[in-house]
């Protein structure tokens, strides 16, 4: 069933209070629900009260203490329709559910020996009958009763107001959340946990208790998470002037979790992968990811919980904004304590990572069958819309507002947003309106009317840049024109798309690599901000010398594709000299992309040609020279240097091809590294040997700072390139690093490099075996081991199947499924896209099988074939057959049906 955004109607009743009583039992949990019901003033007396419920059994229903039989239960629609109610009454419902058979991990479920809930977006209805929609907000009181031997710790949102031992030997705890909240923010947890706790004072002097609960024996691995939480709390106070509103803020770790984490009010539940870390078992990117996700969920307390969404179409209201906030948090943390120049480059590393991810995940989504605006127009299953578009593009849209308004006015807009909407469930339009109000207090002539189209139109606009010299000295006419044809469901909707409001930051540098001072209208400086609001616009820019190379879309000021033809020389110049760290990276990415795509084009049936055209060889050699300069330039941050050298992602490259050819791209990338890196071999070896001599990889005292992590990243890149080149010395260095590694970044980096070496011999296999043996008791590290094998170029379908037979493989655990199945299908071009189509058949089998237990995860795996129509005809046929075999299943979940249905139709 398709749900339309425009069909929204307010709920006819208020449900101001709910009291839930749980008799917890993994096989059969009894739930007693007591709800205060009040008809809204404009609701007709007798209008039915309609509640949602799914996979729960109804055992009894009473109104004001009396049994009531004016109700119908529609099990297919999951609705309980209660009629003839007085305008105000108390509704009591008895129901039960079975957590141990809940493999969907939505609602109340078992993970390990504990019980957890996940309610967003529509999981509360799997716990009790309720108006399970975000605009119905209630005050929750929760009573939990359970056997204390199995479930010594009983948690829910808010404050614990009572605890007692019951005569039957069980214990009971009562929790009360002082804040009104929608059902999706409800949570309960029961189990045995280690608890790390700390009290801190908020800026206004209130004392709050911070707690992190994790499986027994994992206490030592929650320190970084606690430190991250405190940093997040401080940062939200200082940058956004937002203080924690609770007396108690809890995080609980779950081994089985569909997503990264969940921001339930005062009781966040986290995937173990985003909490547990120590240097020996977690990589630097794990550490960074933990800090970011802890921040993200913490920031939701204001942007999501205090002000929530009116309906699920508004998801980006909280997600886009909160991703923007967590991105800024990470950038600020990376820059902390550095001098301004280094701080700018450290911040740009975060920007680069976010843009690379946007291009690898969101741009393709915008060009495929699931394309949707950041505020979707319709959906079949809302769980399918926790997408890169809603999250990452949503954050880009907030960032553009930040660029247009500036930090100060943006913060005034945030204040206005909370002033107007604290405690409410609102829309994206409400947010834009608050921002516009703030903008107009300083600039009455400005407005966000055109800008708001980013919320209603899908697709990645392309912006064409043309320049022509005028007769004036050092003056050009710069023309920007935009295009964004209908995508995805837009194509059937017969809509006329309107131009977007696109902020374009630009600068220019001369032949000597110096920045030019430019002037345009009232602006004057080394970077200008142009606002493209119509299909095509021109500007006269002064100070643009004859030899200028334009540096466009600095800081990636808008989520668009730039169409520009730059001479090679200009790109090489930008790659060496652009003072805007993002734009400099962009230049190296364009040069690398061009080279990979050219090599892929030249490869004939996977056999790389040896005689390359001279222009290509020259360009690669110049790039190699640029890279050599970068490798010698120790004034640059190591993390930033690593980004400058890194290859663009396969996905980004594939989407630039007329017909996608993943095998050709994988081989071309490898080939390019071999040609590029050959002249750099000495420099690369030196980077590794110096780090090894300094004992970086074996230090007892681990330095988690961004600076130290940058150095480890550069060493790993050097090892990876050396191994891809087939260097014997590189292999020896990787083996040495593997053996002596004192932290996971060094150990895994070495192992990954070894897997990329053309000689896949017993030394490599031994290293892999020893890795498994050493870490077999640590699930998160074993995930890494599975992921490594699944994405290794030597792993084909047969090997993937044999890995599924490994005793450590567990298809109920989403992390393990992601490590093996997702890595193989989405990150192993050679294995998955094998010419015989075996990868696609394997994919279909796995999607069908997973769909029976966990539709949310199955539907994500299903999206791997979104772009089947962009592949070569013979591949298309095989992919289509695989998609069809999934679509032919009669009992498919709505989640997977929507994904494969759209893939086949659009």
From the list 215, 236, 263, 898, which residue makes contact with ligand B3K (rule: CB under 6 A)? 263
- Dist. CA 675–CA 327, nearest whole Å: 35
Which of Zn ion, ligand B3K, none does residue 386 bind (CB under 5 to 8 Å by kind)?
ligand B3K
Of 260-268, 490-498, 630-638, 682-690, the segment contacting ligand B3K by CB under 6 A is: 260-268
Work out whether 120 is an interface residue with ligand B3K (CB under 6 A). yes
For Zn ion, the closer CB: 182 or 503: 182
- Dist. CA 357–CA 387, nearest whole Å: 12
The minimum distance between CB 905 and ligand B3K, in angstroms, equals: 24
- Dist. CA 104–CA 430, nearest whole Å: 34
Given the residues 288, 297, 381, 416, the one annotated as active site: 297
Which residue, judged by CB position, is nearest to ligand B3K in the bound state? 120
For ligand B3K, the closer CB: 18 or 262: 262
The minimum distance between CB 263 and ligand B3K, in angstroms, equals: 5
Judge whether 585 and 551 are in contact, CB under 8 Å.
no
The minimum distance between CB 234 and Zn ion, in angstroms, equals: 20
Output the six-digit token pair for 427.
């829309």
Tell me, by CB under 6 A, how many residues bind ligand B3K: 14
Which of ligand B3K, Zn ion, none does residue 383 bind (CB under 5 to 8 Å by kind)?
ligand B3K
From the list 145, 265, 296, 325, which residue makes contact with ligand B3K (rule: CB under 6 A)? 296
- Dist. CA 251–CA 264, nearest whole Å: 9
Output the six-digit token pair for 888.
């032919």
For ligand B3K, the closer CB: 720 or 856: 856
Which strand (E) or helix (H) includes residue 791?
helix 779-791
The minimum distance between CB 461 and Zn ion, in angstroms, equals: 26
For ligand B3K, the closer CB: 232 or 518: 232
Q: Which is nearest to 529 in space by CA: 406, 622, 347, 633?
A: 406
Work out whether 383 is an interface residue with ligand B3K (CB under 6 A). yes
For ligand B3K, the closer CB: 29 or 258: 258
For ligand B3K, the closer CB: 598 or 863: 863
Query: Strands 188-191 and 153-156: what pairing?
Result: antiparallel
Work out whether 262 is an interface residue with ligand B3K (CB under 6 A). yes
What values do phi and psi take at 435, rounded to 5? -65, -45
Output the six-digit token pair for 566.
């730059």
From the list 215, 297, 430, 796, which residue makes contact with ligand B3K (rule: CB under 6 A)? 297
Q: How many angstroms separate the most distant Cα atoms in the chain?
A: 94
Q: Which is nearest to 37 in space by CA: 47, 26, 23, 22?
A: 47
From residue 37, alpha-carbon distances to 40, 677, 840 in Å are: 10, 70, 52
The minimum distance between CB 123 and ligand B3K, in angstroms, equals: 8
Q: Which is nearest to 562 in space by CA: 480, 652, 463?
A: 463
Which of ligand B3K, Zn ion, none does residue 25 bind (CB under 5 to 8 Å by kind)?
none
Judge whether 100 and 134 are in contact, CB under 8 Å.
no
Output the six-digit token pair for 265.
């009010």
Find the Cα–Cα–Cα–Cα dihedral 836, 838, 844, 847, rounded to 10°: -140
Work out whether 386 is an interface residue with ligand B3K (CB under 6 A). yes
For ligand B3K, the closer CB: 300 or 561: 300
Judge whether 591 and 619 are in contact, CB under 8 Å.
yes
The minimum distance between CB 101 and ligand B3K, in angstroms, equals: 19
Work out whether 863 is an interface residue with ligand B3K (CB under 6 A). no
Per the annotation, the verdict on 297 as an active-site residue is yes
Work out whether 671 is an interface residue with ligand B3K (CB under 6 A). no
Of 292-300, 745-753, 862-870, 882-890, the segment contacting ligand B3K by CB under 6 A is: 292-300
The minimum distance between CB 386 and ligand B3K, in angstroms, equals: 5
Which of Zn ion, ligand B3K, none does residue 381 bind (CB under 5 to 8 Å by kind)?
none
Work out whether 319 is an interface residue with ligand B3K (CB under 6 A). yes
- Helices 706-724 + 662-677 axis angle, to 10: 100
- Tell me how crowded residue 242 is: count the other CB atoms within 10 A of its CB: 21
Of 108-116, 294-302, 447-455, 859-867, the segment contacting ligand B3K by CB under 6 A is: 294-302
Work out whether 122 is an interface residue with ligand B3K (CB under 6 A). no
- Dist. CA 568–CA 590, nearest whole Å: 10
- Dist. CA 110–CA 26, nearest whole Å: 7
Chain residues binding Zn ion by CB under 5 A are: 319, 322
From residue 681, alpha-carbon distances to 647, 728, 754, 817 in Å are: 17, 11, 17, 38
Which strand (E) or helix (H) includes residue 882?
helix 873-887
Of 293-301, 483-491, 556-564, 697-705, the segment contacting ligand B3K by CB under 6 A is: 293-301
Judge whether 208 and 229 are in contact, CB under 8 Å.
no
- Dist. CA 869–CA 659, nearest whole Å: 9
The minimum distance between CB 840 and Zn ion, in angstroms, equals: 32
Question: What residues are labeled active site?
Answer: 297
The contact set with ligand B3K (CB under 6 A) reads 120-121, 258-259, 261-263, 296-297, 300, 319, 383, 386, 856
């Amino acid at each position: 069933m398709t749900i339309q955004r425009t069909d929204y109607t307010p709920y006819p009743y208020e449900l101001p209070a709910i009291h839930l009583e749980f008799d917890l039992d993994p096989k059969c949990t009894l739930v007693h629900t007591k709800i205060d019901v009040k008809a809204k003033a404009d609701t007709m007396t007798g209008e039915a009260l309609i509640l949602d419920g799914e996979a729960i059994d109804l055992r009894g229903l009473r109104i004001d203490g009396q049994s009531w039989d004016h109700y119908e239960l529609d099990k297919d629609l999951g609705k309980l329709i209660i009629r003839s109610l007085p305008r105000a009454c108390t509704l009591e419902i008895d129901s039960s559910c079975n957590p141990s058979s809940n493999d969907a991990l939505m609602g109340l479920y078992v993970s390990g020996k504990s019980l957890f809930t996940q309610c967003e977006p529509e999981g509360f209805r799997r716990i009790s009958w309720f108006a399970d929609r975000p605009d119905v907000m209630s005050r929750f009181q929760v009573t939990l009763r359970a056997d204390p031997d199995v479930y010594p710790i009983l948690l829910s949102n808010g404050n614990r107001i009572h605890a007692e031992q019951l005569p039957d030997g069980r214990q009971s705890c009562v929790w009360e959340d002082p804040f009104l909240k929608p059902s999706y923010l409800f949570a309960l947890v029961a189990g045995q946990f280690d608890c790390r706790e700390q009290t801190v004072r908020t800026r206004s002097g209130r004392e709050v208790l911070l707690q992190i609960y994790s499986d027994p024996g994992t206490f030592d691995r929650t320190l970084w998470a606690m430190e991250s939480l405190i940093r997040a709390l401080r940062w939200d106070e200082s940058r956004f002037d937002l203080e924690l509103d609770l007396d108690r803020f809890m995080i609980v770790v779950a081994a089985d979790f569909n997503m990264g984490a969940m921001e339930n009010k005062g009781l966040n539940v986290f995937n173990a992968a985003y909490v547990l870390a120590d240097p020996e078992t977690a990589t630097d990117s794990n550490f960074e990811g933990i800090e970011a996700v802890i921040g993200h969920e913490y920031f939701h307390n204001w942007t999501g919980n205090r002000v929530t969404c009116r309906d699920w179409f508004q998801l980006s209201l909280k997600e886009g904004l909160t991703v923007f906030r967590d991105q800024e948090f990470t950038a600020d943390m990376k820059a902390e304590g550095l001098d301004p120049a280094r701080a700018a480059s450290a911040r740009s590393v975060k920007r680069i990572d976010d843009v690379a991810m946007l291009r690898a995940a969101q741009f393709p989504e915008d060009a495929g069958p699931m394309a949707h605006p950041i505020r979707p127009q319709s959906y079949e299953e809302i769980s399918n819309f926790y997408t890169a578009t809603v999250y990452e593009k949503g954050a880009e849209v907030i960032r553009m507002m930040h660029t247009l308004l500036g930090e100060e006015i943006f913060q005034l807009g945030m204040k206005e947003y909370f002033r107007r909407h604290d405690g409410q469930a609102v829309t994206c339009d409400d947010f834009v309106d608050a921002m516009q109000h703030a903008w107009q207090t300083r600039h009455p002539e400005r407005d966000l009317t055109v800008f708001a189209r980013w919320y209603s139109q899908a697709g990645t606009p392309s912006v064409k840049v043309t320049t022509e010299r005028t007769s004036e000295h050092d003056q050009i006419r710069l023309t920007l024109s935009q295009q964004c044809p209908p995508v995805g469901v837009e194509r059937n909707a017969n809509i006329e798309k309107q131009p977007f409001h696109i902020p374009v930051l630009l600068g220019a540098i001369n032949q000597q690599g110096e920045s030019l001072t430019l002037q345009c209208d009232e602006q004057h400086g080394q970077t200008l901000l142009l606002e493209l609001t119509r299909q095509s616009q021109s500007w006269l820019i002064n100070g643009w010398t004859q030899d200028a190379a334009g540096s466009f879309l600095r800081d990636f000021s808008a989520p668009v594709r730039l169409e520009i033809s730059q001479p090679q020389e200009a790109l090489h110049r930008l790659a060496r000299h652009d003072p805007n760290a993002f734009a400099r990276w962009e230049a190296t990415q364009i040069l690398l992309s061009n080279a990979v795509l050219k090599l892929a084009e030249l490869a004939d049936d996977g056999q790389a040609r040896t005689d390359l055209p001279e222009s290509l060889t020259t360009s690669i050699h110049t790039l190699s020279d640029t890279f050599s300069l970068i490798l010698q330039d120790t004034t640059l941050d190591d993390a930033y240097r690593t980004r400058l050298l890194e290859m663009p992602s396969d996905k980004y490259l594939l989407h630039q091809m007329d017909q996608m050819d993943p095998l050709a791209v994988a081989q071309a990338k490898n080939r390019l590294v071999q040609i590029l890196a050959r002249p750099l071999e000495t420099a690369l070896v030196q980077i590794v040997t110096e780090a090894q001599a300094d004992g970086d990889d074996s230090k007892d005292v681990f330095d988690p700072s961004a600076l130290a992590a940058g150095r480890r990243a550069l060493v790993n890149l050097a090892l990876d390139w050396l191994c891809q080149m087939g260097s014997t010395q590189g292999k020896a260095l990787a083996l040495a690093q593997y053996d002596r590694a004192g932290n996971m970044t060094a150990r895994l980096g070495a192992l990954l490099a070894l897997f990329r070496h053309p000689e896949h011999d017993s030394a490599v296999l031994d290293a892999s075996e020893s890795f498994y043996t050493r870490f077999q008791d640590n699930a998160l590290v074993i995930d890494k081991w599975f992921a490594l094998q699944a994405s290794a170029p030597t792993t084909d379908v047969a090997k993937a199947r044999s890995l599924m037979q490994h005793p450590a493989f567990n298809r109920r655990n989403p992390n393990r499924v992601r490590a093996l199945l997702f890595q193989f299908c989405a990150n192993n071009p050679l294995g998955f896209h094998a010419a015989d189509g075996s990868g696609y058949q394997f994919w279909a089998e796995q999607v069908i099988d997973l769909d029976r237990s966990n539709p949310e995860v199955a539907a994500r795996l299903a999206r791997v074939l979104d772009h089947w129509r962009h592949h070569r005809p013979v591949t298309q046929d095989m992919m289509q057959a695989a998609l069809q075999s999934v679509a032919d299943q009669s009992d498919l979940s709505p989640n997977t049906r929507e994904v494969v249905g759209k893939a086949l139709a659009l």
